[in-house]
A and B are shown apart, each in its own frame.
Chain A
């Protein structure tokens, strides 16, 4: 039963990650794949605050979100200033560079990872409580993003994605909108990192590499980019799929790449056959 609760905790975390990533890539049309590094920054900030300064879980998690937000501004300001594709390249470099820093500095635990993170919640109901917190956070983020994109600011965001030049001609500060979207999405990813930290009580840099980018991207693409429901469906589908193939009882050395092949093949199939994903986004009539 504990296993099911741990899957639910992960589901909540990935709901936050995929929905916030959808805000950036789906609604904002900003091609960045550095989402896992903001998740990592949130996780490591929360973990280090708890380990070194005994800060309680909630403020530590909020601090994680804030650090991720600030870091995203540091990444996006120079890259967005130039042009679209440069953000993608900058995001790859930013993610790999920061991961290298995390791996090499001592206070993060380096390659061995950060351990001895105190338990925020104890007792026999720990997993249930964490599952409830994680899913609540996930659903809150889904509804928050839905509320944002359906409001006046959402109209500006999608207008920027659909015709940036027209929005510029209307006198809007497009750079500011992009930086705000990235900061908001990254900050939410940082919060997810905090939840991860206090549930698993152990962090390792390899959990936040480019493969993690591919996983989150897969959830959004398969579910449907630029929709509120798409990332939710993508998250549950992709978390459910590995459970469905566990009955094959494959050794871990085969299971890991096999899962990767399955995920990637699914994305490629969707791109070729149903690029809009399971849930198609509504586009303005022209």
Chain B
């Protein structure tokens, strides 16, 4: 039984990798641009099918497909920002208009992909099998290690970028207070473009991992994005790494729910979470702050004395 639980834990952690990447892509736009970017599903579709075309039509290697996919996704993100969102922002459009724009753009991209690639599920490479090894009785595949490793490296790189790179610090400044940041000479427009580019990189990396593991349809990205939306809500708006942690926890809950819920009801777990999060944790789930309690405790003791 322990082995089964351990196996589910490991597979859940490995599968959480692409969910974490999609969540970061979604959450960084929410944080910096303050927009629910439903066009991310379209960007994810562009990412996957551009890589698919490179691998299957041009017969180029996977690493080159990933690089081209990233360029295509970043390009799509920048075009969306420059020619879609910026004009809407300039016109002081309502949040409803932004929502309709991103949602319909995503649908448009899905239809174009359907027209170009059909509606049959396809994988990035002809085979999704990956060599495995047994570690402590748990099956660990090369794909699992690649997924966990790549995600850990990407998250670390993002953390370093936000903390030490000038553009990263500008992103944080704009996300804190865009108007004040502009007063200090920081370009919010540039920050939005950088955020879109980062979202493109993470979305593409996630689609590479997903596409090497499962079949993809032009509409697959919509479901994957919904997961990112829930994780972003659960993590709390503007808390990037908390959203990533929430995505990992959600993926694990979904993995373990196999033990108690029939597979056809698995999707419902996600929607149930969505409602619970909205009703109980609308500002995100926060663990009690231990640091604050430690600081407050002596004060309380003093007061009692």
Contacts and interface: CB of A to CB of B under 8 A. Distances in A.
Do they bind each other?
yes
Interface of A: 25, 29, 31, 33, 78-79, 81-86, 88-90, 92-94, 96-97, 100-101, 104, 210-211, 214, 217-218, 221, 253-254, 256-258, 260-261, 264-265, 267-268, 271-272, 275
B30 to A, nearest CB: 10
Contact of B95 (A81, A85, A217): A85
B104 A217 contact: yes
Contact of A257 (B93, B111, B271, B274): B111
A261 B116 CA distance: 12
B216 interface: no
B274 A90 contact: yes
A257 B114 contact: yes
Contacts of B105: 264, 268
Closest 7 CB pairs of A and B: A97-B271, A264-B108, A93-B274, A260-B111, A257-B114, A82-B282, A257-B115
Interface of A is mostly: helix
Contacts of A260: 107-108, 110-111, 114
Interface string B99-119: 111011101101110110011
Contacts of B115: 254, 257-258, 261
B91 interface: yes
B107 A214 contact: yes
Interface stretch (B137-145, B174-182, B260-268): B260-268
Nearest to A92: B226
Contacts of B96: 25, 29, 31
Given A264-B107, A264-B108, A271 B100 contact: yes
Interface in B57-105: 84, 87-88, 91, 93, 95-97, 99-101, 103-105
Interface in B224-283: 226, 229-230, 233, 264-265, 267-268, 270-272, 274-275, 278-279, 282
B101 A82 contact: no
B93 A97 contact: no
B262 to A, nearest CB: 9
Nearest to A220: B100
B125 interface: no
5 contacts: A31-B96, A84-B95, A93-B226, A214-B107, A254-B115
Contacts of A257: 111-112, 114-115
B36 interface: yes
Given A33-B103, A89-B274, A257-B114, 11 more contacts: A90-B274, A94-B271, A100-B265, A100-B268, A211-B107, A218-B104, A260-B110, A264-B105, A271-B88, A271-B101, A272-B87
B27 to A, nearest CB: 14
A94 B186 CA distance: 40
A133 to B, nearest CB: 32
A84 B36 CA distance: 13
A213 to B, nearest CB: 8
A261 B274 contact: no
B222 interface: yes
A268 B274 contact: no
